[in-house]
Structure 1
Amino acid sequence: MIGIVIPAHDEEASLHACLHAACQAARHPALAGEPVSIVVVLDSCSDASAAIAQRHPVTVLPLQVRNVGLARHHGAAALIAQGARWLAFTDADTLVAPDWLVAQLHLQVDAVCGTVSPDGWQGHPPQVQQRFARHYQDRDEHRHIHGANFGVSTQAYLRAGGFPPLPCHEDVGLVRALQAIDARIAWSASVRVVTSTRAHSKVRGGFGDTLRQWDVEERAHLARSPQRERVSVRTTCCACSRLT
């Protein structure tokens, strides 16, 4: 059996689409009928997330810890108790690809770190999108770590001690623990998800906070030297075009 863990804190705006995508991945024909169980960990929710989750074929696990590391841990524990051999993790503001699980399992490793694609750049200045394009490595052997796109065998997960109880960067903590036990990790661009670029992150220090900080830094830089920034932006666009 394969398990999917999705932590959520007040995600009524995005949860339906997230679960629809996860259920599609769970029904992929290449899984050859292997059962897939989806656990939605509702952590300190006060909105309609519970009602939305209950409209889907998932298990709802309510918590009041406001800690994504603990939320992922409890979701994983529930699936391990059901007999899951593989654990896949994503976020409630993320859409996994239809072949998401198939692509993870195809790599035949202990753990998989996939990449993310932004769902758009509305509300962000062009400089933030350009900075992402400069720094993000959407390729194999990328070395990015995303809780929104991660998979691990149950055996390796248990050997590594599971997710640490951190409110942020719990995914980094687990990957470091996996590296410490010499787990085989695939850094793959073939395992795809689309994630939100909302500026109001549900987790302090998460992707949304990073984008917001970039926004502040890029605006400040532009204010200090507008002419130089305009030249730099044009150069970056040309460089990106050459790379693509």
Structure 2
Amino acid sequence: MIGVVIPAHNEERQIGACLASVLVAAEHPALGQPVSIVVVLDDCSDQTDQIVSAFDISAIEVCYQNVGQSRAVGADHLLTAGAKWLAFTDADTVVPHDWLVKQIEFHADAVCGTVEVDSWNEHGDLVRAKYMELYQFIENHRHIHGANLGISAEAYRNAGGFQHLTAHEDVHLVADLERIGAHIVWTATNPVITSARRNYKCQGGFGEYLANLGASLGLPALNSQVSAGVSL
């Protein structure tokens, strides 16, 4: 069984598209195995839980405001249920229809994928150009995104799982995978599309990275709504 973990904190505007895309990926005819999806609702005060319920997808409610801990809880839940492969994305992200198939087909211990931005309207052409200059849309890149990550159950356990960090929990896990000699594939063949919203929620995450690009170009600071640690 394949498990998919999606942490979410007040994502009522974004999570519907995310869940719809993951369900399509889970039904890919070439997959050949069941998929179990769990959303970890981390201190949600909006309608995120109702949207998840409408999709008939399992949810776990926690009050951590800690993305690393939320991912870990979701992973542990699915491992207990018998998952042999864990795929991770974020509630503001849309995955391609063959997302899970491509992860499995690599026969690796872990697969680190790339991200594409849904719209640059809130940042402008200068930030987009700078991002495209710095980002590597190539095989054997070295980008790490919790929004596009797959790990075998065995490798996840051997690496110690996600640390309970409010940011960069994905980076630390991949470092632990490298430490134990795991076979990691770095691919640009299965990119996900993630939000470039100005009101990013995770300090040290993708939204802040884009904001810092703007700052480096002398653009006005963004109006972020940073909390302790939520999905990027």
Flag whether TM exceeds 0.5 (same fold). Answer: yes
Q: Check conservation: 1:200, 1:209, Cα contact below 8 A.
A: no
Q: Check conservation: 1:125, 1:215, Cα contact below 8 A.
A: no
Correspondence 1:1-244 to 2 at 5 A: 1-32=1-32, 34-219=33-218
Deviations 1:174-195 (CA, angstroms, capped at 9, x unpaired)? 0000000000000011122101
Q: CA deviation at 1:214?
A: 1.4
Q: CA deviation at 1:220?
A: 5.5
Letter in 1 for 2:112: C
Q: CA deviation at 1:27?
A: 0.4
> Counterpart of 1:232?
none
- Could you say what secondary structure the match of 1:91 adopts? coil
Deviations 1:55-113 (CA, angstroms, capped at 9, x unpaired)? 11311000000000000000000000100000000000000000000000010000000
- When Rg is computed on C-alpha atoms for both structures, the one with the higher figure is 1
Measure, in 2, the Cα distance between the counterparts of 1:82 and 1:220.
Answer: 48
Measure, in 1, the Cα distance between the counterparts of 2:124 and 2:194.
Answer: 18
Letter in 2 for 1:132: Y
4+ residue runs over 3 A deviation: none
For normalisation by structure 1, the TM-score amounts to 0.88
Q: CA deviation at 1:126?
A: 1.4
- Could you say what secondary structure the match of 1:157 adopts? helix
Q: Check conservation: 2:139, 2:187, Cα contact below 8 A.
A: yes
Measure, in 1, the Cα distance between the counterparts of 2:45 and 2:218.
Answer: 35
Measure, in 1, the Cα distance between the counterparts of 2:166 and 2:219.
Answer: 29
Letter in 1 for 2:31: L
Measure, in 2, the Cα distance between the counterparts of 1:62 and 1:167.
Answer: 17
Q: CA deviation at 1:127?
A: 1.1
Measure, in 1, the Cα distance between the counterparts of 2:105 and 2:189.
Answer: 10
Identity %: 49
> Counterpart of 1:240?
none
> What stretches of structure 1 of length at least 5 have no aligned partner?
222-244
Structure with greater contact order relative to length (CA < 8 Å, sep ≥ 6): 2
Letter in 1 for 2:152: S
Q: Check conservation: 2:131, 2:213, Cα contact below 8 A.
A: no
Letter in 1 for 2:135: Y
Letter in 2 for 1:93: D
Measure, in 1, the Cα distance between the counterparts of 2:102 and 2:191.
Answer: 9
Measure, in 2, the Cα distance between the counterparts of 1:78 and 1:136.
Answer: 34
- Could you say what secondary structure the match of 1:5 adopts? strand
Measure, in 2, the Cα distance between the counterparts of 1:205 and 1:8.
Answer: 17
Measure, in 2, the Cα distance between the counterparts of 1:51 and 1:190.
Answer: 33
- Could you say what secondary structure the match of 2:128 adopts? helix
> What stretches of structure 2 of length at least 5 have no aligned partner?
221-232
